[in-house]
Amino acid sequence: MKTSVVIRSRDEAPRLRLTLAALEHQPACDEIVVVDDGSVDDTPQVIAAAGVRSVRHDGPKGRAAASNAGAGAARGELLIFLDGDTLAAPGFVAAHAAVHVRDDRLIGRGETWHLRCTRFLADPEAGRFWPHEAARAQTLKAEERDAMRVTLAQVRSDFAAITRRAQPGIYAGTAPRRLHEAEMAALRRPGAAQLWAAASGSNLSIRRETFLAAGGFDAAIDINEHRELAWRLCGAGARMAAVDGARSYHLTHRSGWRDPLNDDGWERAFRRAHPHAPIDALKAFWRALSSNAPAPDFFAR
């Protein structure tokens, strides 16, 4: 089965360089397609240096539209979606490919971890801090600043140095960690329900034919577009499953994240398209994860 890794990226050239390096020697990786979603930095040069296929948007169209463009340009039978600030661990592509050989109705979800301290760095390779983090940089010793870096040498020859500093969850913090743990446990639990809600935006795999037949991601939804697609596909008989051995590492670059409990444009579009989806129960689950309260088992039958 030929695989296409589809990477959507905008204005994150130093991170994209590392992302592409992590895919250089991945067994079973037949193609990489980068969608440059209207970048104004050095992203075109990074793509050209890597020699990978690309799609260029003159202006930003959003995550869903960028993913759809990459899927449309891809030539592989299997699509694996990745973000331009995310490192694929060794064996990542092969692990995704293996589960789809066994089940062509599957939607695969790997483990999404993050790398501590990278959010302070504009360029993780060079160790260059964001301008607003200059004061923080002055308080650190040279060896402390160096320990925060993520280098091409590490990606290519010492990936263990990267895994040692990683933590579960796409972002730092208790709520992202608890969400990751709950989702992965549900995906591995026989009889778990509502697994569409455990889909991830990055580190997600699906047969290209299935993706295109479903119309891809809903371009009107730019947070939780992956869950909306999984809702449709699972309702049509697809199955969500964990992909063991497919771990990715997010090079974070912001404080906090777009909170789906507050940034509710996705919710309005989701409810219009799927009025019977249990959105209220899902939001209650997320709220509990953000507090110290025990979270309800959203994935119970």
Instruction: Sort residue 222 into left (φ over 0), alpha (ψ -120 to 50) or beta.
Output: alpha
Counted domains in the chain = 1
Residue 256 lies in a domain: yes
CB atoms within 10 A of CB 27: 11
Q: Which domain holds residue 209?
A: 3-116+165-289
Integer CA distances (angstroms), 251 to 23, 142, 294, in order: 15, 21, 29
Whether 252 maps to a domain, the answer reads yes
Would the CA dihedral through 259, 71, 43, 199 be positive or negative?
A: positive
With CA atoms as reference, report the closest residue to 201 among 6, 3, 44.
6
Considering Cα of 22, then 16, then 212, then 260, what sign does the dihedral take? positive
| Predicted TM-score (pTM) of this structure | 0.96
Residue 128, domain member (yes or no): no
Q: Does a structural domain hold residue 51?
A: yes
Spatial separation of the C-alpha atoms in residues 49 and 45, rounded to whole Å? 6
To the nearest 10°, report the CA torsion of 223, 55, 37, 95.
40
Angle value at C-alpha 222, between 196 and 56, nearest 5 degrees:
120
Residue 122 lies in a domain: no
Instruction: Please report whether residue 69 resides in a domain.
Output: yes
In a domain, 149, yes or no: no
Is the separation of the CB atoms in 5 and 32 below 8 Å? yes
Question: How does pLDDT run along the chain (301 residues), one tens digit per residue?
Answer: 999 999 999 999 999 999 999 999 999 999 999 999 999 999 999 999 999 999 999 999 999 999 999 999 999 999 999 999 999 999 999 999 999 998 888 999 999 999 999 999 999 999 999 999 999 999 999 999 999 999 999 999 999 999 999 999 999 999 999 999 999 999 999 999 999 999 999 999 999 999 999 999 999 998 899 999 999 999 999 999 999 999 999 999 875 566 788 877 899 999 999 999 999 999 999 999 988 778 889 998 6
Q: Please report, for the domain that includes residue 238, its CATH number.
A: 3.90.550.10
Q: Is 97 helix (H, G, I), strand (E, B) or coil?
A: helix
Q: Is residue 250 part of a domain?
A: yes
Amino acid residing at 80: I
